[in-house]
Amino acid sequence: MSAMNLIARTAALLMVGFGLASLGCEKPSGGTGGGGATKSGETGTPGSPKEDGDAGQIVIGHYASLTGSEATFGISTDNGIKMAVEERNKAGGVKGRQVKLVTLDNQGKPQETQTVVTRLIEQNEVVAVLGEVASSRSLAGAPICQRKGVPMISPSSTNPDVTAVGDMISRVCFIDPFQGLVGAKFARENLNLSKGATLYNRAQAYSSGLNTNFKEAFTKMGGQIVSEQAYSDGDNDFSAQLTAIREQGPEFIYVPGYYTEVVNIARQARKLGITVPLIGGDGWDSEELKNAGDALNNCYFSNHYSHEDTRTEVQEFVKKYQEQYGKVPDGLAALGYDAARLLFDAMERAPSMSGKDLASAINSTQNFAGVTGAISIDENRNANKSAVILEVVNGQPKYKATVKP
């Protein structure tokens, strides 16, 4: 062991150490915006606090699953938010300042969600955060926003727990118990049915939550659930459950799943000779329902909005979205769009861009004219709004009724 060797060894260890340190401490510059428009002006003006000066941009953050198995949801929502931001900037921005959107991907993982939200708040210095679709990720991101005092608006998490995290967290969609109630009310009062069955995804918070709430509401209204069947993520064959349901002879089946499953459930049900209506929730909402052909005729689902709605803001939104992304906007895109616009509205009303002012402006929103209906934020920071019931006619959702809270 010569001295030469010792020196070389120490040097090598040190270099590796420094290399790792440089890897770890490398301060990533700015964020990666969703589109080309957000690419310019990566960092805010250094030295000056972000609230000061009217020339600087207002940075807002969005965390979503843009990669991984739930990318579909994140991409739709992000499209809606991007559109709202671009529109606003063209119209002169908020309080004369341009808005910059930073979208970061969380791969659909809760741990990464926390890292990403911290990053948005600390490195991108966002004044408000939008996100997520899935309640489990919203619940991971919300405590960080609450702790750091940055308002967060969830576009489409329906689990009641999300806004219970604190006064910085609000949402623009209705919550599970309400949607369950809407489905039950519609089945019981509009369709006059009393014997129902349910078929839900037990591995999915959304589906099982809706199932519980529907069941409660429906039995309270004097209805009866004759069969309750479940499936799991990744199941694509529902004939066993449907056969069991058929034996009980219900008058309708409540299917609170996503459209990918619903299309298959409907086809398989019809093949098994089940002709009763299926009723579902906003998870059904997609252009892809057209592929069900006539299997989904005489079926209904509750939703945030109907793209057939004749109100001008809806028609304009649908038209613009179709021009930009080449497809009819789904509910997630509409909710993302509304969340961003509600945030801008609150920004205009807030005396300053500090978290506290912004949050209280958001929480005092009343009758905001969104694409998904008039939104009022209630004392639990949930959106108080009506739901629409759509009927599927040859794969096309047609407006059927509006159910008020």
Partner 1 sequence: MTQFLQTLLDGVTVGCLYALIALGYTMVYGILKFINFAHSDVLALGVWMSITIAGWMGMGAAGQPTPPWYMGLLVLVGTMGFCGVVGFVIERVAYKPLRKAPRLNVLITAIGVSLLLQNVGQQKFAFGPYPKSFPSLMESSSLFTVAGVQVRASDVAVVGTAIALMAALQFLIFRTKLGAAMRAVSFNTRNASLMGINVDRVISFTFVVGTMLAAAAGFLYGLKYEGQAKQTADSMWVMLGLKAFVAAVVGGIGNVRGAVLGGLLIGLIEFFGVAYLSSQYRDAYVFAILIMVLLFKPEGVLGRATVEKV
Partner 2 sequence: MSRLVDQARSLSPAGWTVLPRLLWPLVVGVVIAGLIQFVIGPNISGFTSKVMLVAGINIIMAVSLTVVNGFTGQFSMGHAGFMAVGGYVAATITYYGSIKLFGTADFAGGTVSWTGAGAFEGPIVGKGDLLFIGSCIVGGLAAAGAGYIVGLPSLRLRGDYLAIVTLGFGEIVRVLLQGTPDQIQPWKAKEALDVPWYELLLKLGGPKGFNLLPTYTTLFWVYLFVVLTLIVSYRLKNSSTGRAFLSIREDEIAAQAMGVDVTRYKVRAFVLASFFAGMAGGLYAMDIGAINAGDLGFQRSFDFIIMVVLGGLGSISGATLAAVILTILPELLRDLPPIWPAGLVLLAGMAAAQKLRGQWRLRPLIVVAVLTAVLEIARRVCVAKGINIADYRLILYASLLIVMMLSRPQGLFGVREAWELFGRGGKKPAKGAA
Residues that bind partner 2 (CB under 8 A): 1, 5, 8-9, 11-13, 15-16, 18-20, 22-26, 28-33, 36, 39, 66-68, 104-105, 107, 109-112, 114-115, 118-119, 121-123, 135-136, 139-140, 143, 147-149, 159-161, 164-165, 202-205, 207-209, 212, 232-233
Q: Report the residue from 174, 186, 259, 321 that binds partner 1 according to the rule CB under 8 A.
A: 259
Interface with partner 1: number of residues (CB under 8 A)? 36
> Which strands form 373-377's sheet, in the order they lie side by side?
368-370, 373-377, 383-384
Which one of partner 1, partner 2, none is in contact with 164 (Cβ closer than 5 to 8 A by kind)? partner 2
Helix axes 355-363, 331-349, angle to 10 degrees: 120
Between CA 38 and CA 326 the distance in angstroms is: 21
Between CA 225 and CA 388 the distance in angstroms is: 24
Contact pattern from residue 68 through residue 97 relative to partner 1, giving x for each residue in contact according to CB under 8 A and a dash for the rest: xx-xx--x----------------------
Which one of partner 1, partner 2, none is in contact with 91 (Cβ closer than 5 to 8 A by kind)? none
| Bridge partners of residue 253, in order along the sequence | 197, 278
**Considering beta carbons, is residue 129 or 332 the nearer one to partner 1?**
332
For 77, the token pair is 């929502």
Which one of partner 1, partner 2, none is in contact with 309 (Cβ closer than 5 to 8 A by kind)? none
Between CA 56 and CA 84 the distance in angstroms is: 19
Q: Does 291 bind partner 1 (CB under 8 A)?
A: yes
Q: Report the residue from 98, 159, 241, 382 that binds partner 1 according to the rule CB under 8 A.
A: 241
Question: For residue 290, with 0-12 CB atoms within 10 Å meaning exposed, 13-18 middle and 19 or more buried, which class applies?
Answer: middle
Q: Does 226 bind partner 1 (CB under 8 A)?
A: no
In the complex, what is the shortest distance from the CB of residue 37 to partner 1, in angstroms, rounded to a whole number? 18
Between CA 96 and CA 191 the distance in angstroms is: 51
Q: Report the residue from 205, 221, 226, 272 that binds partner 1 according to the rule CB under 8 A.
A: 272
Sequential DSSP letters for 128-142: EEE--SSHHHHHHHH
CA dihedral (283, 287, 292, 297) positive or negative: positive
| Bridge partners of residue 252, in order along the sequence | 196
In the complex, what is the shortest distance from the CB of residue 359 to partner 1, in angstroms, rounded to a whole number? 33
**Considering beta carbons, is residue 79 or 89 the nearer one to partner 1?**
79
Which one of partner 1, partner 2, none is in contact with 271 (Cβ closer than 5 to 8 A by kind)? partner 1
Q: Interacting stretch for partner 1, rule CB under 8 A, among 9-17, 211-219, 266-274, 337-345?
A: 266-274
In the complex, what is the shortest distance from the CB of residue 285 to partner 1, in angstroms, rounded to a whole number? 13
Contact pattern from residue 331 through residue 350 relative to partner 1, giving x for each residue in contact according to CB under 8 A and a dash for the rest: --------------------
Name the residue with tokens 């919300």.
142
Between CA 344 and CA 174 the distance in angstroms is: 20
**Considering beta carbons, is residue 295 or 359 the nearer one to partner 1?**
295
Name the residue with tokens 């310019």.
40
For 82, the token pair is 């991007």
Alpha helices in 58-134 (DSSP H): 71-90, 110-122
Give CA 213 to chain center in angstroms: 19
Q: Is 154 helix (H, G, I), strand (E, B) or coil?
A: strand
In the complex, what is the shortest distance from the CB of residue 212 to partner 1, in angstroms, rounded to a whole number? 14
Q: Does 386 bind partner 1 (CB under 8 A)?
A: no
> Do 229 and 199 form a contact (C-beta atoms < 8 A)?
yes
Q: Report the residue from 40, 190, 219, 260 that binds partner 1 according to the rule CB under 8 A.
A: 260
> Do 162 and 137 form a contact (C-beta atoms < 8 A)?
no
Contact footprint for partner 1 (CB under 8 A): 67-69, 71-72, 75, 202, 229-237, 239-241, 243-244, 247, 259-261, 263-264, 267, 271-273, 288, 290-293
